[in-house]
A = this chain, B = another copy of it.
Amino acid sequence: MADIPDISERTRAARQAARVLARAQTEKKNAALEAIAVALLGGTEKILSANARDLERAHSEGMSAGLVDRLRLSDERIAAIVRAVREVKALPDPVGEVICGRTNALGVRITQVRVPLGVLGMIYEARPNVTVDATVLALKSGNAVILRGGSAAQETNRAIIALMRGALSCVDLPADLVQSVDDLGRSGARAMMRARGGIDVLIPRGGAGLISAVVHNSIVPVIETGTGNCHVYVDSGADLESAEQIVMNSKTQRVGVCNAAETLLVHRDEAESFLPKVLARLTSVGVIVHLDEKSEAIARKSPQVHEAMIEPACEEDWATEYLSMDLAVKVVESIDEAIEHIRTYSSGHTEAICTRLLESAHRFTTELDSAAIAINASTRFTDGGQLGLGAEIGISTQKLHARGPMGLAELTTSTWIIEGAGTVRP
């Protein structure tokens, strides 16, 4: 941990700026978001030329196609980013909401009010859309933000951040509401993790390695997001047709996201009838299935299952968040075995059960300990938009502060206002 640069000037500037924003009315914040939308549209050319330089470096350094795709911007992608900015603008302002209140026996009026957290820190990978997303969610909830994006996107991020800072100045808000430590390289992230008191919360967004590094090294409070080793369990007596829909949707609708399914557990009563069909369908769309002994035996007997897509599952498969066209499959003896398997390997994101039995559904909701339990529904519903929170800054898989999708309210804290008339405690 040698050579941690001093970012206290930036955190102080962020704090000052946050204080100005905390007092800004919703209209002012919305004007800032609109100014950012306009600036990004107007600056599309600048952003794309910066992005081209990042892409060139990425190619020359041999970056994988998947990562290059996340890094690449286009007119359409910038337009989509701008649409997302305007969606956040349209959301209700969480600041000032009265969470609860009462007048006590002494006539003291007590109100708990939602207030901004203050200064957020985001550490994320080379996805320029996160730069904008995180900023506008921070601003709408009254917070300043300090960003550390993946170094592969540094030119793009610099261009985007300059445009957003300019937009803030245009509406007479401090540009320092949005700052970056990208110029400090990797040690910028380390400096953020040590900035206790300067940064109120650090939100790492990215792969398991990034999140674990932040959790282990940060003395700033952290909210973990987005590790999803999600399961779908097909119970004895389940409606197999809808179970098939749910497996397909959970696994294949989008594979690189945290709410995609990674393991399918099938009750032995249904294995013979369910697995041939669902495995045939999965393998036909390109999913590699990692099968335990029992499901492999069934698959090998089923001519519709593409043999080339079958691999035997090993211990590691149960613990892996593939984020790819891969699915681990296991036949279980009972719902007890399914629950025990999920308890052992789950990352606590989302588990789905396909069942007709109330008791089975109840056991999933009371015996498992995950942010979301889907009953006869796709794991893909664990999403801020789907759950009615609006845009999300990430999906928390920890238990403190926020669990599941984090919307604007999760970027706030509260203050108790205690109003008396010279009242003292008896």
Q: Does A28 contact B (CB under 8 A)?
A: no
Given contacts A246-B422, A373-B417, A422-B245, contact A219 B223 (CB under 8 A): no
Q: Does A8 contact B (CB under 8 A)?
A: no
Q: Does A285 contact B (CB under 8 A)?
A: no
- Residue A424 contacts which of B367, B373, B378 (CB distance < 8 angstroms)? B378
B366 engages A422 (CB within 8 Å): no
Given contacts A216-B219, A376-B423, A425-B378, contact A365 B399 (CB under 8 A): no
Q: A102 to chain B: which residues have CB within 8 Å?
A: 388
Q: A200 to chain B: which residues have CB within 8 Å?
A: 399-400
A118 engages B388 (CB within 8 Å): no
Given contacts A201-B399, A401-B401, contact A372 B246 (CB under 8 A): no
Closest beta carbon of chain B to A33's beta carbon, Å: 21
A422 engages B242 (CB within 8 Å): yes
Q: Does A146 contact B (CB under 8 A)?
A: no
How distant is the Cα of A22 from the Cα of B19 in the complex, in angstroms? 41
How distant is the Cα of A117 from the Cα of B245 in the complex, in angstroms? 33
Q: A51 to chain B: which residues have CB within 8 Å?
A: none
Given contacts A400-B201, A425-B253, contact A418 B381 (CB under 8 A): yes
B423 engages A414 (CB within 8 Å): no
A239 engages B422 (CB within 8 Å): yes
A245 engages B424 (CB within 8 Å): yes
B386 engages A415 (CB within 8 Å): no
B219 engages A375 (CB within 8 Å): no
Q: Does A215 contact B (CB under 8 A)?
A: yes
- Residue A249 contacts which of B108, B250, B380, B425 (CB distance < 8 angstroms)? B425
Which residues of A91-150 have CB atoms within 8 Å of chain B's CB atoms? 102, 104, 108, 110, 112-113, 115, 117-118
Given contacts A19-B367, A23-B366, A221-B400, contact A108 B418 (CB under 8 A): no
The CB with the most chain B CB atoms within 10 A, among A243, A376, A386, A399, is that of A399
How distant is the Cα of A111 from the Cα of B369 in the complex, in angstroms? 15
The interface bits of chain A over 382-408 (1 if a CB of B lies within 8 angstroms of the residue's CB, else 0) are: 110011100000000011110110000
How distant is the Cα of A386 from the Cα of B117 in the complex, in angstroms? 25
The chain B residue sitting closest to A102, CB to CB, is: B388
